[in-house]
């Protein structure tokens, strides 16, 4: 998996719905505990969501993407 770009945090802020910073931080904190394959899955799902809609992303959507990426493996944060 490639490293995150240096401006990853700024890019995330550009696509988050206003007021969703806390939820995003919680999801990212959980995501960093995933194995490489599941983290890659989460990032791919997030990238697809960003490409497919100009709507800003909510915390609920981020949590759903995290759940989807861990469906067949260990849960995030374990």
Rounded to an integer, what distance in angstroms lies between the CA atom of residue 18 and that of residue 60? 13
What residues pair up with 57 in beta bridges, in sequence order? 16
Which of the four pLDDT bands, split at 50, 70 and 90, describes residue 73? low
**What is the CA angle 51-70-28, rounded to 5?**
60
Is 20 within 8 Å of 28 (Cβ atoms)? no
pLDDT at 12: 87
- pTM as predicted: 0.80
For 44, phi then psi, to 5°, come to -65, -45
pLDDT tens, residue by residue, 4-63: 788 888 888 999 999 999 999 999 899 989 998 999 999 899 999 999 999 999 999 999
């Amino acid at each position: 998996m490639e490293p995150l770009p240096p401006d990853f945090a700024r890019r995330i802020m550009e696509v988050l719905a206003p007021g969703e910073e806390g939820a995003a931080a919680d999801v990212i904190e959980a995501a960093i505990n995933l194995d490489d394959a599941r983290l890659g899955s989460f990032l791919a799902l997030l990238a697809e969501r960003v490409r497919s809609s100009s709507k800003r992303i909510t915390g609920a959507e981020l949590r759903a993407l995290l759940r989807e990426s861990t469906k067949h493996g260990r849960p995030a944060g374990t």
